[in-house]
């Protein structure tokens, strides 16, 4: 009897040891997410829980298109020898009509630049400044020879 009990105990020990040492499939292989409610980091399998629901959304949120960015053309008319600054940054173009393109701007918002021009007329120095307000895609014209500013949309 003692020998028979010892054999049963030995078989049970080997079976338990085999189960404990058998390689387990990872969550990635099973294709089911970890259960965030399980503090032990355990795994919820749909085979054991009929009402198990994945912890991720099955549907992607609708895509919202970002507004298309647009530039603004700014045309500046000055005497030929004038120097022009945008926001206190000197420009390098020369001539009586100069064209500048803004960086890409978000539509629907107002933007503004302070544009300054300086030139000599005879013996005196003339300096003029304009603050222009515009929106993305506008065409802006500044005429420092007549002090006129126009914005067309």
Residues 101, 106, 108, 112, Cα dihedral to 10°: -50
pLDDT by residue for the chain (153 residues), tens only, comes to: 544 554 555 555 555 445 555 554 443 444 444 444 544 445 545 455 555 555 555 566 667 666 678 899 999 999 999 999 999 999 999 999 999 999 999 889 999 999 999 999 988 999 999 999 999 999 999 999 987 888 877
- What are the angstrom distances between the C-alpha of 133 and each of 31, 56, 107, 151, 153? 56, 47, 14, 8, 12
Look at residues 64, 56, 70, 151 and name the one whose alpha carbon lies nearest to residue 108.
Answer: 70
Contact present, 139 and 101 (Cβ < 8 Å):
no
Considering only CA atoms, which of 135, 116, 138, 111 is closest in space to residue 126? 116
Q: In what order do the strands lie in the sheet with 110-121?
A: 89-90, 83-86, 110-121, 124-135
Q: What is the pLDDT of residue 147?
A: 78
Backbone angles phi, psi at 79, to 5 degrees: -60, 150
Q: Tokens 């990635």 identify what position? A: 28
Reported pTM: 0.56
Between the alpha carbon of residue 130 and those of residues 8, 74, 101, 113, 115, the distances in Å are 99, 12, 17, 8, 5
Q: CB neighbours of 88 closer than 8 A, spacing ≥ 6?
A: 114, 116
pLDDT at res. 148: 80
């Amino acid at each position: 009897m003692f020998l028979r009990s010892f054999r049963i105990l030995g078989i049970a020990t080997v079976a338990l040891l085999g189960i404990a040492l058998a390689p387990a499939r990872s969550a990635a292989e099973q294709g089911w997410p970890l259960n965030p409610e399980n503090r032990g980091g355990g795994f919820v399998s749909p085979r054991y829980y009929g009402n198990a629901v994945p912890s991720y959304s099955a549907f992607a949120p609708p895509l919202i298109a970002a507004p298309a960015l647009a530039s603004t053309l700014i045309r500046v008319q000055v005497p030929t020898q004038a120097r022009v600054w945008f926001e206190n940054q000197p420009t390098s173009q020369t001539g009586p009509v100069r064209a500048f393109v803004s960086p890409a701007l978000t539509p629907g918002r107002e933007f503004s630049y302070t544009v300054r021009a300086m030139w000599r007329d005879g013996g005196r120095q003339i300096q003029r400044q304009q603050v222009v307000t515009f929106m993305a895609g506008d065409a802006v014209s500044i005429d420092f020879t007549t002090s006129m500013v126009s914005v067309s949309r």
